[in-house]
Structure 1
Amino acid sequence: MDNSLINRNWSFFRKVSFRFAFIYFILFFPPLDILASVPGVRWLSSSLYSPLRSAAYFFNDYLFHIKDELVPQGGSGDTSFGWALQFSIIVLAILGTIIWTFLDSKRKGYPKLYYILCLVVRYSLASIAFVYGILKVFALQMYFPNLSQLATPLGDYLPMRLSWMFIGYSPMYQIFSGVAEVLVALLLFWRRTALLGALLSVGVFANVAMLNLSYDIPVKIFSINLLIASLFLVWQERERLFAFFIQNKSAKPSSFYSPEFSKSWFKYIRIGLKVVFIVSAFGIATYNYYGYYKSFHSTATKVLDPIEPGYYHVELFVKNGDTIPENLADTLRWRDLVFDYNGAGSFGAVDEDFWMRYGRAYFDYRPDSTASVLEWRKSKYDSLPFITFEMELEPDGRMSLLGLKNQDSLRISLKKLPRHFQLAERQFHWLSESNR
């Protein structure tokens, strides 16, 4: 380790702030999570995570009172449990700092722990940035809007879905942002480029955090912490950056990420851990996402014969023998129906028997080989159909469906419309004579 760091007497504020930062980042970025792809490591990391979960419930019951019943994290990272966990980490870091300061008040400094903390934060950011980045490089995080989404009025969407489709519309932009995140990971991984990686990380995760805050994307807690961690790494090199960018002075080479340890075996351990990190954080993620990329693109535009994907108007809707006329104010009467590619579909109506999203009811359809039976499932993972229709196809694009939904008989007549969505054309013009 650099002698200047070992011999320097730290100020009281620096020691206290380091203790807080050490506890906070170790709790938020558990070191074992860096190697989570290694078999058995994820299980061990989850086991060590259990006491922190218990602490979140304990502090919520006796201190925070966010909600009586905490909602666990899942599709959203900003659930009531997510906030209880975030506040608990802050409380534990404060309590740990007080106890640490009381028990170790005579310590002059923590140069080796300081190096280890920056190493953990650096590798944690690198692994997270790479996973999110390689997902975007394969254009798998945000998808191009499907037919059901294109048929949904823009005003019905929530901000997050709008931002998701905005990015998913352009694979080029998504890949560009993914390359930036992958570059952050690669630069942070190598000691000589760690500062450049941290600076780029600030820009990348500041943009991500602002997107999450501006479009109500429920990853606010995580993205803000990634930005804080990036700023923490940049702060370690503040003197060199200030001298170079502000004072117009020569900046000395940094030796912070080039420690010299007396034990020769440490060199081999470090090399071994680097190899494991490359394989687990970079190699396995790339292999898995590439496999998913091939699978997704081989089925994304698959047509299930004889159903022709497109936008269908519901000309006739008969329920239990009663013909229900078209009425825009009637939310129960089916207005239109979309058969998308790869067995996905939706119809415009309110029907809680299906998965409802933005005013549309979604289903999964599967025609039989005789083109006379059409099965609808609530989800593509369901083994049994929810509705089985007798289907009749006509040459002019019309389709008749007759079936039983719960205890209600349905007879539906559909006509395929030449509905054209300009957004689906992926338009691009170098020459634009007017504002399109």
Structure 2
Amino acid sequence: MFGGNRILEPLLVWAGRDILGMEGRLEFFSTGSGDTSMAFASLFVLLCLSLIGTVIWSVLDRKRPSYNAAFYWLTVVLRIFLVFFMFTYGFAKIYKTQFAGPSLIRLLQPVGDMSPMGLAWTYMAQSEGFNLFTGLMEVLGGLLLIPKRTQSLGGLVVFGVMLQVFMMNMFYDIPVKLYSAHLMLFGLFLFTADWKRFSHIFIKNKPTEALSYYKPTKDPTYHAVMMWFKVAGMLVLFAIMGYQGYSSERSYGDKRPKPQYYGIWEAEEFIKNQDTIAPLITRSDRWRYLVIDRKGYALVKKMNDSLERFSFVLDSSGTNLSLRNRSDTLSDPNFVIKQVDSLQLTLQGVLEQDSLMIRFRARDLSQFRLINRGFHWINETPYNR
């Protein structure tokens, strides 16, 4: 959201350091967080520039009786912006790509070890139905913003939906607080443009009159063209986002193809340099689980609960394996992997000059309560485990 402020970067750094007293990383970099030090410095500087510009404009143009045209085009820009991002976030939930999972490694992670964001992500990822509901509500808000006559209702729906998102970001420390706040306030702004009629009907119990919408031109051809442009634009957005969501869900979402040896494999026997290592929680070099969730990658959870990430690349035979630290530039096979049956797997090779022979047994994924509980209309007692 603040990526267009690079020409203001020296000003932002100065404001962040000398005015706001920030000690964080005041530079533009991509981490997936929208709440960086630079983002807050950008917000502060843009707010100051906006206030200064408002004062100057108000003084220089103080005799103008109204800004109907400017207000009209402002609402048009906000509606286009909100429609695009409501569709983007909505389809990412309908096709469950934003909250894919829960991942296999999450199933092994104690709740107490999760970050608040990790807990919130797992909560969302667990339910396909709740993703569908929240996605449809976001798409509904975007749809209602397209016609002029329903923009107030659309603004109210967007405000309600984004208020919930904003509160979740705030209270679960999800670093999209500034962005979700902007979307929420944009929806509120569009709704409050029609606040008087709303308050008359729902609060004051008074009659109200139909609103005479401002029109930039009275040419009927223009309005017909704009109507069909909106219809065509909506259909194009639906087609593009629907296709992207469908393909993404099957590329890296819940419906992606599972890699060979997919699952959670528990190390029953671990032999390192001809020495059998007992499964003691004090051992940091003894593997407890090998987790294969995504093609090309693997996670190892050790006895002391530490995690190590590896590249996991099989050859065409499916038995010769390159299992290396992800920073390792080598790619030659260094292990032989064999699946004895559906429950047993053996791994033998050399990792960082240590010879390893490991025998694994598959964990039954259906035994995880988070997966197997399902939905029940009738609950004689609460099932709060």
Scaled by the length of structure 2, the TM-score of the pair is: 0.86
The CA deviation at 1:229 is 1.2
Is 1:366 the counterpart of 2:313 in the alignment?
yes
Q: Distance in 1 between matches of 2:350 and 2:225?
A: 66
1:314 is aligned to 2:267: yes
Query: Contact (CA 8 Å) 1:377, 1:386: kept in 2 or not?
Result: no
The aligned residue for residue 281 of structure 2 is: 328
Q: Equivalent pairs: percent with the same residue?
A: 32
* d(CA) in 1 for partners of 2:349, 2:338: 12
After superposition, the Cα gap between the structure-2 partners of 1:406 and 1:95, relative to the gap in structure 1 and judged at 3 Å, is farther
- Identify if the C-alpha distance between structure 1 residues 297 and 340 changes in structure 2 by more than 3 Å, giving closer, same or farther: closer
Counterpart for residue 349 of structure 1: 302
Q: 1:413 deviation in Å? A: 2.9
Q: CA deviation at 1:333?
A: 2.5
Matched with 2:34 is 77
Please say which of residues 290-299 and 104-113 is displaced more in the overlay: 290-299
Q: How far apart are 1:391 and its partner, in Å?
A: 2.8
SS at match of 1:433: coil
Find the counterpart in structure 2 of residue 24 from structure 1. Answer: none
Q: Which amino acid is the alignment partner of residue 414 of structure 1?
A: F
**Root-mean-square deviation (Å):** 3.3
Aligned residue among 168, 183, 198 for 1:226: 183
Specify the alignment match of 2:127 in structure 1: 170
Q: 1:422 aligns with which of 366, 369, 384?
A: 369
Alignment match, 2:215: 259
1:37 aligns to what?
Answer: none
Q: Deviations over 1:207-250 (max 9, x none)?
A: 11111111111100011111111111121112111111111112
Matched, 1:51 2:7: yes
Answer yes or no: is 1:391 the counterpart of 2:347.
no
3-state SS of 2:71 partner? helix
Query: In structure 1, how many angstroms separate the alpha carbons of the residues matched to 2:354 and 2:328?
Result: 21
Contact 1:139 1:174 in 2 (8 A): yes
SS in 2 for 1:287: helix
Kindly state the Cα deviation for residue 376 of structure 1 after the two structures are TM-superposed. Answer: 2.4
Give the equivalent residue in structure 2 for 1:287.
Answer: 243
Q: Which string of whole-angstrom CA distances, capped at 9 and with x for unpartnered residues, describes residues 175-234 of structure 1?
A: 010000000000001111111111111110111111111111110001111111111112
| Equivalent position SS for 2:88 | helix
The one-character-per-residue Cα deviations of 1:30-89 (angstroms, maximum 9, x if unpaired) are xxxxxxxxxxxxxxxx7x654355543343244334236325343111111221222122
Please tell me whether the aligned partners of residues 345 and 359 of structure 2 are also in contact (alpha carbons under 8 angstroms): yes
Q: 2:87 aligns with which of 104, 115, 130?
A: 130
2:353 paired residue number: 407
1:66 alignment counterpart:
22
Aligned partner of residue 410 in structure 1, secondary structure: strand
Secondary structure class of the residue paired with 1:302 = coil
Question: Aligned to 1:335, what secondary structure does the other structure show?
Answer: strand
Instruction: State the 1:156 CA deviation.
Output: 1.3
CA distance in 2, matches of 1:264, 1:61: 55
**Rounded Cα–Cα distance in structure 1 between residues aligned with 2:363 and 2:220:** 74
- Tell me how far apart the structure 1 counterparts of residues 344 and 35 of structure 2 sit (CA, whole Å): 46
Q: Which moved more, 1:275-284 or 1:60-69?
A: 275-284
- Work out whether residues 90 and 139 of structure 2, in 8 Å CA contact, stay in contact via their aligned partners in 1: yes
Are the aligned partners of 2:335 and 2:349 in contact in 1 as well (CA < 8 Å)? Answer: yes
Further displaced range: 172-181 or 247-256: 247-256
Deviation at 1:384, TM superposition (A): 5.3
Deviation at residue 119 of structure 1 after TM alignment: 1.7
Distance 1:186 1:163 in 2: 27
Give the whole-Å Cα distance in 2 for the aligned partners of 1:281 and 1:142: 21
Q: Are the aligned partners of 1:387 and 1:405 in contact in 2 as well (CA < 8 Å)?
A: no
Contact (CA 8 Å) 2:264, 2:289: kept in 1 or not? Answer: yes
* 1:94 aligned counterpart, secondary structure: helix
Q: CA 1:391 to 1:316, structure 2 compared with 1: closer, same or farther past 3 Å?
A: same
3-state SS of paired residue (2:334): strand
Q: CA deviation at 1:434?
A: 1.9
Does residue 337 in structure 1 map to residue 290 in structure 2?
Answer: yes
Is contact 2:311-2:325 (8 Å) kept?
Answer: yes
Contact map agreement 1:392 1:399 (CA 8 A) in 2: yes
Deviation, structure 1 residue 328 = 1.2
Partner of 2:64: 107
Return the alpha-carbon distance in structure 2 between the equivalents of residues 426 and 344 of structure 1.
29
1:244 aligned onto 2:201: yes
Unaligned runs of 5+ in 2: none
**Gap regions ≥5 residues in structure 1:** 1-27, 30-45, 352-357
C-alpha contact 2:155 2:190 (8 A) present in aligned 1: yes
Alpha-carbon distance in structure 2 between the residues aligned to 1:189 and 1:54: 39
Aligned partners of 1:214, 1:290: CA distance in 2, in Å? 31
Taking the aligned partners of 2:229 and 2:62, their CA distance within structure 1 comes to: 33
